[in-house]
Amino acid sequence: MKQTRAQILEISPLTAEHMDIELLKGYTDMLEGRTKSAESVFSDIRMDYNL
């Protein structure tokens, strides 16, 4: 499976403050156009898993 981040974030031990920081990172990515369409994501999944 492809990962764009260096590490997968385990959210269960996060405090509310840390959760807010991680959500803000995603929101900032969206505002700055660092997104992919759902069509593109599912196309990549189909190609990666030969579906």
* Domain range summary for the chain, segments of one domain joined by +: 16-48
| Conformation bin of residue 14: beta by default, left when phi > 0, alpha when psi is -120 to 50 | beta
Q: What is the predicted pLDDT for the residue at 17? A: 94
What's the gap between Cα 12 and its chain centre? 17
Backbone angles phi, psi at 7, to 5 degrees: -150, 145
37, two tokens: 């369409």
pLDDT tens, N- to C-terminus, the chain (51 residues): 565 656 777 878 889 999 999 899 999 999 999 999 999 999 999 999 999
- In this prediction the pTM is 0.56
